[in-house]
Chain A
Amino acid sequence: MISLSDVHVTFGRGTPLEHRALRGLDLTIPEGEFVTVIGSNGAGKSTLLNVLSGTARPERGSIIVDGTDVTRWSAPKRAKLIARVFQDPMAGTCERLSIEENMALAFSRGSVRRFGRALDASRRALFREKLSMLGLGLENRLSDSMGLLSGGQRQAVSLLMSTLTGMKILLLDEHTAALDPRTAAFVLDLTRRIVEEQKLTALMVTHSMRDALDHGTRTVMLHEGTIVFDIAGDQRKSLDVPDMLNLFRQARGDELSDDNLLLGMGAKQAAAVRAGKTASS
Protein backbone atom coordinates (compact mmCIF):
# COMPACT_ATOMS: atom_id res chain seq x y z
CA MET A 1 0.00 0.00 0.00
CA ILE A 2 1.16 3.52 -0.77
CA SER A 3 0.02 6.53 1.17
CA LEU A 4 1.03 10.11 0.41
CA SER A 5 -0.30 12.76 2.75
CA ASP A 6 -0.07 16.51 2.39
CA VAL A 7 2.98 16.32 0.09
CA HIS A 8 4.43 19.66 -0.97
CA VAL A 9 7.23 20.05 -3.51
CA THR A 10 8.51 23.42 -4.70
CA PHE A 11 11.25 23.92 -7.30
CA GLY A 12 13.40 27.03 -7.32
CA ARG A 13 12.03 28.28 -4.00
CA GLY A 14 12.54 32.00 -3.50
CA THR A 15 13.46 32.64 -7.13
CA PRO A 16 11.33 34.27 -9.84
CA LEU A 17 11.05 30.79 -11.36
CA GLU A 18 9.56 29.29 -8.21
CA HIS A 19 7.24 26.47 -9.17
CA ARG A 20 5.00 24.72 -6.70
CA ALA A 21 4.85 21.33 -8.37
CA LEU A 22 2.87 19.56 -5.65
CA ARG A 23 0.59 21.47 -3.29
CA GLY A 24 -0.61 19.29 -0.49
CA LEU A 25 -1.21 16.13 -2.46
CA ASP A 26 -3.06 13.31 -0.68
CA LEU A 27 -3.25 9.91 -2.31
CA THR A 28 -3.77 6.44 -0.90
CA ILE A 29 -3.34 3.44 -3.16
CA PRO A 30 -4.29 0.01 -1.80
CA GLU A 31 -2.17 -2.99 -2.71
CA GLY A 32 -2.72 -4.37 -6.20
CA GLU A 33 -4.33 -1.26 -7.62
CA PHE A 34 -3.26 0.00 -11.05
CA VAL A 35 -3.69 3.77 -11.08
CA THR A 36 -3.45 5.83 -14.24
CA VAL A 37 -2.45 9.45 -13.76
CA ILE A 38 -3.37 12.22 -16.19
CA GLY A 39 -3.03 15.98 -16.21
CA SER A 40 -1.68 18.80 -18.31
CA ASN A 41 1.98 19.77 -18.56
CA GLY A 42 3.23 21.03 -15.23
CA ALA A 43 0.35 19.48 -13.32
CA GLY A 44 2.80 17.54 -11.15
CA LYS A 45 2.53 14.07 -12.67
CA SER A 46 6.24 13.47 -13.05
CA THR A 47 6.94 15.12 -9.70
CA LEU A 48 4.52 12.66 -8.11
CA LEU A 49 6.56 9.78 -9.51
CA ASN A 50 9.82 11.47 -8.55
CA VAL A 51 8.61 11.89 -4.99
CA LEU A 52 7.63 8.24 -4.85
CA SER A 53 10.91 7.00 -6.31
CA GLY A 54 12.95 9.35 -4.13
CA THR A 55 14.54 11.55 -6.80
CA ALA A 56 12.56 14.58 -5.54
CA ARG A 57 12.28 15.38 -1.84
CA PRO A 58 9.07 16.83 -0.46
CA GLU A 59 9.54 19.81 1.84
CA ARG A 60 6.40 18.82 3.70
CA GLY A 61 4.25 15.74 4.01
CA SER A 62 4.96 12.06 4.29
CA ILE A 63 5.21 9.02 2.05
CA ILE A 64 4.39 5.66 3.54
CA VAL A 65 4.94 2.42 1.68
CA ASP A 66 3.65 -0.80 3.26
CA GLY A 67 3.54 0.83 6.67
CA THR A 68 7.12 2.17 6.49
CA ASP A 69 7.77 5.88 6.35
CA VAL A 70 10.12 6.27 3.38
CA THR A 71 9.97 10.07 3.14
CA ARG A 72 13.67 10.44 3.97
CA TRP A 73 14.89 7.39 2.03
CA SER A 74 17.28 7.95 -0.89
CA ALA A 75 16.39 6.77 -4.39
CA PRO A 76 18.77 3.78 -4.33
CA LYS A 77 17.36 2.67 -0.98
CA ARG A 78 13.80 2.83 -2.28
CA ALA A 79 14.74 0.79 -5.35
CA LYS A 80 14.20 -2.28 -3.18
CA LEU A 81 10.47 -1.50 -3.06
CA ILE A 82 9.92 0.58 -6.14
CA ALA A 83 10.83 0.00 -9.79
CA ARG A 84 10.47 2.61 -12.47
CA VAL A 85 10.23 2.72 -16.26
CA PHE A 86 11.10 6.05 -17.82
CA GLN A 87 9.58 7.87 -20.77
CA ASP A 88 12.89 8.01 -22.61
CA PRO A 89 13.82 4.51 -23.79
CA MET A 90 17.47 5.56 -23.41
CA ALA A 91 17.01 6.40 -19.74
CA GLY A 92 15.94 3.04 -18.36
CA THR A 93 18.79 0.95 -19.72
CA CYS A 94 22.52 1.33 -20.30
CA GLU A 95 23.16 1.32 -24.01
CA ARG A 96 26.87 0.71 -23.53
CA LEU A 97 26.18 -2.52 -21.68
CA SER A 98 24.82 -5.73 -23.13
CA ILE A 99 21.25 -6.97 -22.66
CA GLU A 100 22.37 -9.59 -20.14
CA GLU A 101 24.44 -7.03 -18.22
CA ASN A 102 21.47 -4.70 -18.01
CA MET A 103 19.37 -7.55 -16.71
CA ALA A 104 22.06 -8.50 -14.21
CA LEU A 105 22.00 -4.93 -12.91
CA ALA A 106 18.27 -5.14 -12.37
CA PHE A 107 18.54 -8.63 -10.89
CA SER A 108 20.64 -7.30 -8.00
CA ARG A 109 18.37 -4.36 -7.29
CA GLY A 110 17.72 -4.10 -3.59
CA SER A 111 20.48 -6.50 -2.58
CA VAL A 112 24.08 -5.70 -1.70
CA ARG A 113 26.33 -5.92 -4.75
CA ARG A 114 29.44 -7.90 -3.87
CA PHE A 115 32.27 -9.35 -5.87
CA GLY A 116 30.54 -12.44 -7.15
CA ARG A 117 30.29 -12.71 -10.89
CA ALA A 118 27.47 -10.62 -12.30
CA LEU A 119 26.71 -13.26 -14.92
CA ASP A 120 26.79 -17.03 -14.77
CA ALA A 121 25.07 -19.91 -16.54
CA SER A 122 22.05 -20.03 -14.25
CA ARG A 123 21.42 -16.30 -14.49
CA ARG A 124 21.77 -16.36 -18.25
CA ALA A 125 19.25 -19.20 -18.38
CA LEU A 126 16.84 -17.18 -16.25
CA PHE A 127 17.29 -14.06 -18.39
CA ARG A 128 16.80 -16.08 -21.55
CA GLU A 129 13.59 -17.54 -20.18
CA LYS A 130 12.29 -14.12 -19.13
CA LEU A 131 13.20 -12.52 -22.46
CA SER A 132 11.45 -15.27 -24.40
CA MET A 133 8.19 -14.11 -22.75
CA LEU A 134 8.46 -10.92 -24.78
CA GLY A 135 8.28 -12.82 -28.05
CA LEU A 136 10.81 -10.45 -29.63
CA GLY A 137 13.58 -12.98 -30.18
CA LEU A 138 15.80 -11.15 -27.71
CA GLU A 139 16.53 -14.39 -25.85
CA ASN A 140 19.02 -15.17 -28.60
CA ARG A 141 20.74 -11.80 -28.36
CA LEU A 142 21.82 -11.78 -24.71
CA SER A 143 25.29 -10.43 -25.38
CA ASP A 144 24.16 -7.79 -27.88
CA SER A 145 24.65 -4.22 -26.80
CA MET A 146 21.48 -2.55 -25.53
CA GLY A 147 22.18 0.31 -27.94
CA LEU A 148 21.33 -1.99 -30.87
CA LEU A 149 17.71 -2.34 -29.75
CA SER A 150 14.80 -0.21 -30.92
CA GLY A 151 12.99 2.10 -28.51
CA GLY A 152 10.11 -0.33 -28.12
CA GLN A 153 12.42 -3.26 -27.51
CA ARG A 154 14.28 -1.24 -24.90
CA GLN A 155 11.06 -0.31 -23.11
CA ALA A 156 9.97 -3.94 -23.14
CA VAL A 157 13.31 -4.98 -21.65
CA SER A 158 13.05 -2.14 -19.09
CA LEU A 159 9.66 -3.45 -18.01
CA LEU A 160 11.01 -6.96 -17.75
CA MET A 161 14.01 -5.71 -15.77
CA SER A 162 11.72 -4.02 -13.28
CA THR A 163 10.09 -7.36 -12.51
CA LEU A 164 13.24 -9.41 -11.93
CA THR A 165 13.24 -8.74 -8.20
CA GLY A 166 10.45 -8.96 -5.69
CA MET A 167 9.51 -5.30 -5.76
CA LYS A 168 5.91 -4.38 -5.18
CA ILE A 169 5.44 -0.98 -6.79
CA LEU A 170 5.87 -0.17 -10.46
CA LEU A 171 6.08 3.44 -11.63
CA LEU A 172 5.52 4.06 -15.32
CA ASP A 173 6.39 7.54 -16.50
CA GLU A 174 4.74 7.96 -19.91
CA HIS A 175 6.68 4.91 -20.88
CA THR A 176 4.98 4.57 -24.25
CA ALA A 177 5.08 8.26 -25.23
CA ALA A 178 8.20 7.92 -27.36
CA LEU A 179 6.96 4.86 -29.24
CA ASP A 180 5.00 4.41 -32.44
CA PRO A 181 1.33 3.41 -31.94
CA ARG A 182 1.79 -0.29 -32.65
CA THR A 183 4.81 -0.62 -30.37
CA ALA A 184 3.06 1.48 -27.74
CA ALA A 185 0.10 -0.93 -27.80
CA PHE A 186 2.48 -3.87 -27.44
CA VAL A 187 4.28 -2.29 -24.48
CA LEU A 188 0.96 -1.34 -22.82
CA ASP A 189 -0.30 -4.88 -23.20
CA LEU A 190 2.94 -6.21 -21.76
CA THR A 191 2.55 -3.77 -18.86
CA ARG A 192 -0.95 -5.07 -18.13
CA ARG A 193 0.24 -8.70 -18.24
CA ILE A 194 3.15 -8.03 -15.92
CA VAL A 195 1.10 -6.01 -13.43
CA GLU A 196 -1.57 -8.72 -13.33
CA GLU A 197 0.80 -11.68 -13.16
CA GLN A 198 3.00 -10.19 -10.46
CA LYS A 199 0.09 -8.58 -8.59
CA LEU A 200 1.86 -5.24 -8.54
CA THR A 201 0.70 -1.87 -7.33
CA ALA A 202 1.26 0.40 -10.29
CA LEU A 203 1.11 4.07 -11.18
CA MET A 204 1.10 4.94 -14.84
CA VAL A 205 1.47 8.54 -15.96
CA THR A 206 0.07 9.10 -19.42
CA HIS A 207 -0.78 11.97 -21.70
CA SER A 208 -3.49 9.96 -23.38
CA MET A 209 -6.96 10.00 -21.78
CA ARG A 210 -7.80 6.98 -23.91
CA ASP A 211 -4.96 4.95 -22.39
CA ALA A 212 -5.78 6.28 -18.93
CA LEU A 213 -9.34 4.88 -19.18
CA ASP A 214 -8.49 1.68 -21.01
CA HIS A 215 -5.82 0.55 -18.59
CA GLY A 216 -5.67 0.05 -14.87
CA THR A 217 -8.35 0.07 -12.23
CA ARG A 218 -8.43 3.69 -11.16
CA THR A 219 -7.74 7.09 -12.72
CA VAL A 220 -6.65 10.28 -11.01
CA MET A 221 -6.27 13.66 -12.64
CA LEU A 222 -3.76 16.17 -11.35
CA HIS A 223 -3.99 19.90 -11.82
CA GLU A 224 -1.66 22.46 -10.30
CA GLY A 225 -0.22 20.00 -7.87
CA THR A 226 -3.39 18.53 -6.42
CA ILE A 227 -5.81 15.79 -7.37
CA VAL A 228 -8.85 17.25 -9.06
CA PHE A 229 -10.63 14.01 -9.59
CA ASP A 230 -10.24 10.41 -8.67
CA ILE A 231 -12.46 7.71 -10.12
CA ALA A 232 -12.59 3.93 -10.00
CA GLY A 233 -14.92 1.00 -10.45
CA ASP A 234 -18.23 1.21 -12.33
CA GLN A 235 -18.23 4.98 -12.48
CA ARG A 236 -14.93 4.80 -14.35
CA LYS A 237 -16.08 2.06 -16.70
CA SER A 238 -18.94 4.19 -17.95
CA LEU A 239 -16.68 7.14 -18.74
CA ASP A 240 -15.41 8.19 -22.12
CA VAL A 241 -12.84 10.80 -23.12
CA PRO A 242 -15.36 13.69 -23.55
CA ASP A 243 -16.84 12.86 -20.10
CA MET A 244 -13.36 13.15 -18.64
CA LEU A 245 -12.95 16.57 -20.19
CA ASN A 246 -16.24 17.67 -18.69
CA LEU A 247 -15.31 16.25 -15.33
CA PHE A 248 -12.11 18.18 -15.47
CA ARG A 249 -13.93 21.39 -16.33
CA GLN A 250 -16.34 20.92 -13.46
CA ALA A 251 -13.59 20.13 -11.03
CA ARG A 252 -11.64 23.22 -11.99
CA GLY A 253 -14.56 25.44 -12.79
CA ASP A 254 -12.65 27.12 -15.56
CA GLU A 255 -12.35 27.07 -19.30
CA LEU A 256 -10.29 24.40 -20.87
CA SER A 257 -7.49 26.10 -22.62
CA ASP A 258 -4.65 23.67 -22.69
CA ASP A 259 -4.41 21.58 -25.80
CA ASN A 260 -2.35 19.04 -23.96
CA LEU A 261 -5.45 17.93 -22.12
CA LEU A 262 -6.97 16.97 -25.39
CA LEU A 263 -4.29 14.51 -26.26
CA GLY A 264 -5.82 11.15 -26.87
CA MET A 265 -8.10 12.82 -29.37
CA GLY A 266 -7.13 13.95 -32.84
CA ALA A 267 -6.30 17.58 -33.54
CA LYS A 268 -9.60 17.97 -35.39
CA GLN A 269 -11.57 16.67 -32.44
CA ALA A 270 -9.61 18.93 -30.18
CA ALA A 271 -10.56 21.90 -32.31
CA ALA A 272 -14.17 20.75 -32.23
CA VAL A 273 -14.16 20.57 -28.45
CA ARG A 274 -12.69 24.04 -28.28
CA ALA A 275 -15.40 25.31 -30.60
CA GLY A 276 -17.98 23.82 -28.23
CA LYS A 277 -19.18 21.27 -30.72
CA THR A 278 -19.61 17.59 -30.08
CA ALA A 279 -16.57 15.65 -31.13
CA SER A 280 -17.29 13.41 -34.06
CA SER A 281 -14.88 11.15 -35.80
Chain B
Amino acid sequence: MNLISLIGAVEIGLVFALVALGVYISFRVLDFPDLTVDGSFPLGAAVAAAMISGGINPITGTLAAIVAGCLAGIVTAWLNIRFGILHLLAGILTMTALFSVNLRIMGRPNIPLMNQPTVIDLFAWLRPLVEASGLPGRPTLKVLALLIIVSVVGALLARFLTSEFGLAMRATGANPRMAQAQGIPTEMHTYIGVAMANGLVALAGALFAQTAGFADVTVGTGTAIAGLAAVILGETIFRTRSIVIGIFSCVFGAIAYRIAIALALNTGWLGLQSSDLNLVTAVLVAMALILPKVANPMRSLLKRSAT
Protein backbone atom coordinates (compact mmCIF):
# COMPACT_ATOMS: atom_id res chain seq x y z
CA MET B 1 0.00 0.00 0.00
CA ASN B 2 1.44 3.36 -0.94
CA LEU B 3 1.34 6.59 1.01
CA ILE B 4 -1.50 8.08 -1.02
CA SER B 5 -3.80 5.14 -0.41
CA LEU B 6 -2.86 5.13 3.29
CA ILE B 7 -3.73 8.82 3.60
CA GLY B 8 -6.90 8.13 1.63
CA ALA B 9 -7.84 5.35 4.05
CA VAL B 10 -7.25 7.63 7.06
CA GLU B 11 -9.33 10.35 5.40
CA ILE B 12 -12.34 8.10 4.79
CA GLY B 13 -11.75 6.56 8.23
CA LEU B 14 -12.07 9.99 9.84
CA VAL B 15 -15.29 10.65 7.93
CA PHE B 16 -16.62 7.31 9.11
CA ALA B 17 -15.47 8.07 12.66
CA LEU B 18 -18.40 10.49 12.74
CA VAL B 19 -20.68 7.73 11.46
CA ALA B 20 -19.28 5.45 14.16
CA LEU B 21 -20.04 8.08 16.82
CA GLY B 22 -23.60 8.35 15.53
CA VAL B 23 -24.01 4.58 15.51
CA TYR B 24 -22.49 4.48 18.99
CA ILE B 25 -25.20 6.86 20.24
CA SER B 26 -28.08 4.91 18.71
CA PHE B 27 -26.91 1.30 19.03
CA ARG B 28 -24.91 1.51 22.23
CA VAL B 29 -26.09 4.47 24.28
CA LEU B 30 -29.79 4.29 23.44
CA ASP B 31 -29.98 0.60 22.52
CA PHE B 32 -31.97 1.75 19.48
CA PRO B 33 -30.70 -0.11 16.39
CA ASP B 34 -31.24 2.70 13.92
CA LEU B 35 -30.88 1.97 10.20
CA THR B 36 -31.92 5.49 9.19
CA VAL B 37 -28.21 6.25 8.87
CA ASP B 38 -28.08 4.51 5.48
CA GLY B 39 -30.32 7.34 4.34
CA SER B 40 -29.04 10.20 6.48
CA PHE B 41 -25.45 9.80 5.24
CA PRO B 42 -26.40 10.49 1.58
CA LEU B 43 -28.91 13.06 2.89
CA GLY B 44 -26.06 15.03 4.46
CA ALA B 45 -24.04 14.67 1.27
CA ALA B 46 -27.01 15.72 -0.87
CA VAL B 47 -27.91 18.79 1.19
CA ALA B 48 -24.31 20.01 1.41
CA ALA B 49 -23.57 19.32 -2.28
CA ALA B 50 -26.80 20.89 -3.53
CA MET B 51 -26.26 24.02 -1.45
CA ILE B 52 -22.56 24.41 -2.18
CA SER B 53 -23.00 23.89 -5.91
CA GLY B 54 -25.86 26.40 -5.71
CA GLY B 55 -23.37 28.98 -4.49
CA ILE B 56 -24.18 28.87 -0.79
CA ASN B 57 -21.44 29.10 1.83
CA PRO B 58 -20.10 25.58 2.63
CA ILE B 59 -20.43 26.19 6.38
CA THR B 60 -24.11 26.99 5.96
CA GLY B 61 -24.45 23.94 3.70
CA THR B 62 -22.80 21.67 6.27
CA LEU B 63 -24.93 23.04 9.11
CA ALA B 64 -28.05 22.55 7.00
CA ALA B 65 -26.96 18.95 6.38
CA ILE B 66 -26.72 18.37 10.15
CA VAL B 67 -30.20 19.82 10.68
CA ALA B 68 -31.59 17.63 7.88
CA GLY B 69 -30.02 14.55 9.47
CA CYS B 70 -31.52 15.45 12.86
CA LEU B 71 -34.96 15.77 11.24
CA ALA B 72 -34.60 12.35 9.61
CA GLY B 73 -33.75 10.90 13.02
CA ILE B 74 -36.77 12.57 14.57
CA VAL B 75 -39.01 10.98 11.93
CA THR B 76 -37.68 7.52 12.80
CA ALA B 77 -38.01 8.10 16.54
CA TRP B 78 -41.52 9.45 16.00
CA LEU B 79 -42.59 6.36 14.01
CA ASN B 80 -41.22 4.19 16.79
CA ILE B 81 -42.41 6.09 19.87
CA ARG B 82 -45.67 7.57 18.69
CA PHE B 83 -46.94 4.64 16.62
CA GLY B 84 -45.10 1.71 18.16
CA ILE B 85 -43.42 0.68 14.90
CA LEU B 86 -40.43 -1.58 15.56
CA HIS B 87 -37.26 0.56 15.62
CA LEU B 88 -35.57 -1.47 12.88
CA LEU B 89 -38.59 -1.11 10.61
CA ALA B 90 -39.03 2.57 11.45
CA GLY B 91 -35.42 3.16 10.40
CA ILE B 92 -35.85 1.22 7.17
CA LEU B 93 -39.01 3.20 6.36
CA THR B 94 -37.25 6.53 6.83
CA MET B 95 -34.20 5.30 4.94
CA THR B 96 -36.34 4.17 2.01
CA ALA B 97 -38.17 7.47 1.90
CA LEU B 98 -34.88 9.36 2.10
CA PHE B 99 -33.66 7.79 -1.14
CA SER B 100 -36.39 9.68 -3.00
CA VAL B 101 -35.93 12.77 -0.85
CA ASN B 102 -32.21 12.80 -1.63
CA LEU B 103 -32.91 12.57 -5.36
CA ARG B 104 -35.30 15.51 -5.04
CA ILE B 105 -32.76 17.56 -3.10
CA MET B 106 -30.02 16.91 -5.65
CA GLY B 107 -32.29 17.02 -8.68
CA ARG B 108 -30.13 14.30 -10.26
CA PRO B 109 -28.34 11.19 -8.98
CA ASN B 110 -24.89 12.77 -8.77
CA ILE B 111 -23.45 16.23 -8.05
CA PRO B 112 -19.73 16.80 -8.62
CA LEU B 113 -18.10 19.27 -6.23
CA MET B 114 -14.78 19.72 -7.97
CA ASN B 115 -13.33 23.22 -7.72
CA GLN B 116 -16.06 24.34 -5.33
CA PRO B 117 -15.37 25.98 -1.97
CA THR B 118 -15.59 23.48 0.92
CA VAL B 119 -15.23 23.57 4.69
CA ILE B 120 -11.71 22.23 4.19
CA ASP B 121 -10.80 25.72 2.95
CA LEU B 122 -11.32 26.95 6.52
CA PHE B 123 -8.21 25.02 7.41
CA ALA B 124 -6.00 26.65 4.78
CA TRP B 125 -3.92 28.10 7.64
CA LEU B 126 -2.53 24.61 8.13
CA ARG B 127 -1.00 24.68 4.67
CA PRO B 128 2.51 25.82 5.75
CA LEU B 129 2.58 22.96 8.25
CA VAL B 130 1.55 20.45 5.59
CA GLU B 131 4.14 21.77 3.15
CA ALA B 132 6.83 21.56 5.81
CA SER B 133 5.96 17.93 6.46
CA GLY B 134 6.67 17.01 2.84
CA LEU B 135 3.53 14.86 2.64
CA PRO B 136 1.19 15.21 -0.33
CA GLY B 137 -0.44 18.62 0.13
CA ARG B 138 -4.16 18.42 -0.53
CA PRO B 139 -4.83 14.92 0.97
CA THR B 140 -2.84 15.72 4.10
CA LEU B 141 -4.67 18.99 4.58
CA LYS B 142 -7.98 17.14 4.34
CA VAL B 143 -6.84 14.58 6.92
CA LEU B 144 -5.72 17.31 9.33
CA ALA B 145 -8.95 19.24 8.86
CA LEU B 146 -11.04 16.12 9.45
CA LEU B 147 -8.91 15.20 12.46
CA ILE B 148 -9.64 18.59 14.02
CA ILE B 149 -13.37 18.32 13.28
CA VAL B 150 -13.59 14.75 14.62
CA SER B 151 -11.62 15.67 17.75
CA VAL B 152 -13.88 18.62 18.50
CA VAL B 153 -17.04 16.55 17.89
CA GLY B 154 -15.68 13.66 19.98
CA ALA B 155 -14.75 15.95 22.86
CA LEU B 156 -18.16 17.63 22.78
CA LEU B 157 -19.88 14.25 22.71
CA ALA B 158 -17.81 12.96 25.64
CA ARG B 159 -18.67 16.08 27.61
CA PHE B 160 -22.33 15.69 26.69
CA LEU B 161 -22.58 12.03 27.68
CA THR B 162 -20.98 12.67 31.07
CA SER B 163 -23.35 15.54 31.82
CA GLU B 164 -26.54 15.04 33.81
CA PHE B 165 -28.54 15.21 30.60
CA GLY B 166 -26.28 12.72 28.83
CA LEU B 167 -26.27 10.38 31.81
CA ALA B 168 -30.07 10.43 31.68
CA MET B 169 -29.85 9.48 27.99
CA ARG B 170 -27.56 6.56 28.83
CA ALA B 171 -29.99 5.40 31.52
CA THR B 172 -32.81 5.63 28.96
CA GLY B 173 -31.00 3.06 26.84
CA ALA B 174 -29.71 0.91 29.68
CA ASN B 175 -32.91 0.58 31.74
CA PRO B 176 -35.89 2.66 30.61
CA ARG B 177 -38.09 1.57 33.50
CA MET B 178 -35.53 2.63 36.05
CA ALA B 179 -34.93 5.84 34.12
CA GLN B 180 -38.61 6.73 34.32
CA ALA B 181 -38.69 5.93 38.01
CA GLN B 182 -35.82 8.40 38.38
CA GLY B 183 -37.92 11.08 36.71
CA ILE B 184 -36.25 10.88 33.29
CA PRO B 185 -38.53 11.60 30.30
CA THR B 186 -37.27 8.64 28.29
CA GLU B 187 -39.20 9.50 25.11
CA MET B 188 -37.64 12.93 24.90
CA HIS B 189 -34.18 11.45 25.37
CA THR B 190 -34.84 8.91 22.61
CA TYR B 191 -35.94 11.67 20.24
CA ILE B 192 -32.89 13.78 21.00
CA GLY B 193 -30.48 10.84 20.91
CA VAL B 194 -31.69 9.48 17.57
CA ALA B 195 -31.70 13.02 16.15
CA MET B 196 -28.12 13.57 17.35
CA ALA B 197 -27.00 10.24 15.90
CA ASN B 198 -28.42 11.07 12.48
CA GLY B 199 -27.15 14.64 12.68
CA LEU B 200 -23.64 13.26 13.17
CA VAL B 201 -24.05 10.83 10.29
CA ALA B 202 -25.36 13.62 8.05
CA LEU B 203 -22.33 15.70 9.04
CA ALA B 204 -20.19 12.74 7.96
CA GLY B 205 -22.10 12.66 4.66
CA ALA B 206 -21.59 16.40 4.15
CA LEU B 207 -17.86 16.08 4.84
CA PHE B 208 -17.67 13.03 2.59
CA ALA B 209 -19.15 15.01 -0.30
CA GLN B 210 -16.70 17.85 0.30
CA THR B 211 -13.59 15.71 0.67
CA ALA B 212 -14.40 13.13 -2.01
CA GLY B 213 -15.60 15.86 -4.36
CA PHE B 214 -19.03 14.49 -5.18
CA ALA B 215 -22.39 13.49 -3.76
CA ASP B 216 -24.23 10.45 -5.04
CA VAL B 217 -27.57 8.95 -3.96
CA THR B 218 -26.01 5.51 -3.63
CA VAL B 219 -23.20 6.40 -1.21
CA GLY B 220 -25.31 5.45 1.79
CA THR B 221 -25.55 1.71 1.25
CA GLY B 222 -24.01 -0.13 4.19
CA THR B 223 -23.37 3.00 6.27
CA ALA B 224 -24.98 1.56 9.41
CA ILE B 225 -23.02 -1.68 9.15
CA ALA B 226 -19.76 0.14 8.41
CA GLY B 227 -20.36 2.33 11.47
CA LEU B 228 -21.17 -0.71 13.56
CA ALA B 229 -18.03 -2.44 12.32
CA ALA B 230 -15.98 0.53 13.52
CA VAL B 231 -17.73 0.55 16.90
CA ILE B 232 -17.22 -3.19 17.38
CA LEU B 233 -13.60 -3.04 16.26
CA GLY B 234 -12.95 -0.20 18.70
CA GLU B 235 -14.69 -2.07 21.51
CA THR B 236 -12.63 -5.16 20.80
CA ILE B 237 -9.37 -3.22 20.95
CA PHE B 238 -10.25 -1.13 24.02
CA ARG B 239 -12.35 -3.24 26.34
CA THR B 240 -13.91 -0.51 28.43
CA ARG B 241 -17.19 0.90 29.62
CA SER B 242 -15.77 4.39 30.13
CA ILE B 243 -17.44 6.94 27.89
CA VAL B 244 -14.32 8.94 27.02
CA ILE B 245 -12.36 5.86 26.00
CA GLY B 246 -15.49 4.47 24.33
CA ILE B 247 -15.69 7.53 22.08
CA PHE B 248 -11.98 7.41 21.34
CA SER B 249 -12.26 3.72 20.49
CA CYS B 250 -15.04 4.49 17.97
CA VAL B 251 -12.76 6.95 16.17
CA PHE B 252 -9.82 4.61 16.39
CA GLY B 253 -11.94 1.67 15.23
CA ALA B 254 -13.20 3.61 12.21
CA ILE B 255 -9.69 4.52 11.08
CA ALA B 256 -8.24 1.07 11.81
CA TYR B 257 -11.12 -0.52 9.93
CA ARG B 258 -10.53 1.61 6.82
CA ILE B 259 -6.81 0.92 6.88
CA ALA B 260 -7.51 -2.81 7.18
CA ILE B 261 -9.93 -2.60 4.26
CA ALA B 262 -7.39 -0.65 2.18
CA LEU B 263 -4.74 -3.26 2.98
CA ALA B 264 -7.07 -6.08 2.00
CA LEU B 265 -8.01 -4.38 -1.26
CA ASN B 266 -4.37 -3.64 -2.05
CA THR B 267 -3.25 -7.18 -1.41
CA GLY B 268 -3.28 -8.73 -4.84
CA TRP B 269 -3.41 -12.41 -3.88
CA LEU B 270 -6.73 -11.96 -2.00
CA GLY B 271 -8.27 -11.04 -5.33
CA LEU B 272 -10.58 -8.47 -3.75
CA GLN B 273 -11.77 -5.39 -5.57
CA SER B 274 -13.28 -2.23 -4.13
CA SER B 275 -16.80 -3.36 -5.00
CA ASP B 276 -16.34 -6.22 -2.51
CA LEU B 277 -16.24 -3.69 0.33
CA ASN B 278 -19.80 -4.27 1.56
CA LEU B 279 -19.43 -8.04 1.48
CA VAL B 280 -16.20 -7.86 3.48
CA THR B 281 -17.81 -5.45 5.96
CA ALA B 282 -20.90 -7.62 6.44
CA VAL B 283 -18.77 -10.74 6.94
CA LEU B 284 -16.55 -8.91 9.45
CA VAL B 285 -19.51 -7.62 11.48
CA ALA B 286 -21.18 -11.03 11.42
CA MET B 287 -17.92 -12.60 12.63
CA ALA B 288 -17.63 -10.02 15.39
CA LEU B 289 -21.18 -10.81 16.53
CA ILE B 290 -20.74 -14.59 16.23
CA LEU B 291 -17.31 -14.96 17.79
CA PRO B 292 -18.22 -14.09 21.42
CA LYS B 293 -20.95 -16.75 21.28
CA VAL B 294 -18.74 -19.39 19.72
CA ALA B 295 -15.75 -18.60 21.89
CA ASN B 296 -17.50 -19.58 25.12
CA PRO B 297 -18.23 -23.25 24.40
CA MET B 298 -14.74 -23.50 22.95
CA ARG B 299 -13.31 -22.12 26.17
CA SER B 300 -15.37 -24.45 28.33
CA LEU B 301 -14.28 -27.37 26.16
CA LEU B 302 -10.68 -26.37 26.66
CA LYS B 303 -11.23 -26.05 30.40
CA ARG B 304 -12.89 -29.43 30.60
CA SER B 305 -10.05 -31.12 28.79
CA ALA B 306 -7.57 -29.37 31.06
CA THR B 307 -9.10 -30.71 34.26
Contacts and interface: CB of A to CB of B under 8 A. Distances in A.
Q: Which of B168, B171, B174, B183 has the most CB of A within 10 A?
A: B183
Contacts of B181: 53, 75, 79, 83-84, 86, 92
Interface in A158-195: 161
Nearest to A118: B167
B151 interface: no
A115 B183 contact: no
Interface string A101-114: 10011101110011
A211 B165 CA distance: 39
A138 B170 CA distance: 22
A97 B170 contact: yes
Contacts of A90: 175
A77 interface: yes
Interface in A87-131: 90-98, 101, 104-106, 108-110, 113-119
Interface stretch (B14-22, B40-48, B86-94, B156-164): B156-164
Interface residues of A, number: 36
Nearest to A108: B164
A76 interface: yes
B160 A115 contact: yes
B182 interface: yes
Contact of A76 (B165, B174, B175, B183): B183
Contacts of A84: 181
Contacts of B6: none
A20 B184 CA distance: 29
Interface of B is mostly: helix
Interface in B162-194: 162-168, 170-171, 174-175, 177-186
Interface string B27-56: 000000000000000000000000000000
B241 interface: yes
Given A92-B178, A105-B171, A117 B183 contact: no
Contacts of B166: 115, 118
Interface of A: 53, 55, 74-77, 79-80, 83-84, 86, 90-98, 101, 104-106, 108-110, 113-119, 145, 161
